[in-house]
Structure 1
Amino acid sequence: MNLRIIWPTRRCATFAVHRSIRRQTVERVFGTLKGWMGPCHLLTKRIKNVATEMSLSVLAYNIKRMISIIGVKPLIAAIRA
């Protein structure tokens, strides 16, 4: 398929590729969080409580990722610094 037919400029075609990659990256994170939460997505009600619950879930995801990337000891050292 020739991208020139759909997108008249190279900039638009590049944007579409970047958007596709970004969508895949974001979907992976939300898919992981959704798998952790199970069928009952949120255990709390009201926007403030839901925001807190989501923040804690995202924090747990980020800490778990950092442990897998740099390890436990360097992460603890970075937190203490």
Structure 2
Amino acid sequence: MSRHIKGLTGSQATLFPEILDDFVSKENPVRVIGVFVDELDLEFLGFKGVKAKNKARPGYHPTTLFKIYIYGYLNRIQSTRCLER
């Protein structure tokens, strides 16, 4: 079992025939954030996953959380509830 919840890749098909990449325009800054974070050596920068002590659901992967954090910072979104939308 994986230690982290891994998000879907942009090219992975969902339950429906659509591809996730189809929902994000080619000019969207989210694509730049994704490429930027994917090129970083996050382990070297000190990003480490935390393993749950019990059999609880695994946490989200640090790469996914970092992408969301950068998106929120660039869009001046301070609340995680606002990011959720």
More helix by share: 1
Higher relative contact order (CA 8 A, sep 6+): 2
Q: Same fold judged by TM-score > 0.5?
A: no
TM-score (norm 2): 0.29
TM-score (norm 1): 0.30
Which protein is bigger by CA-based radius of gyration? 1
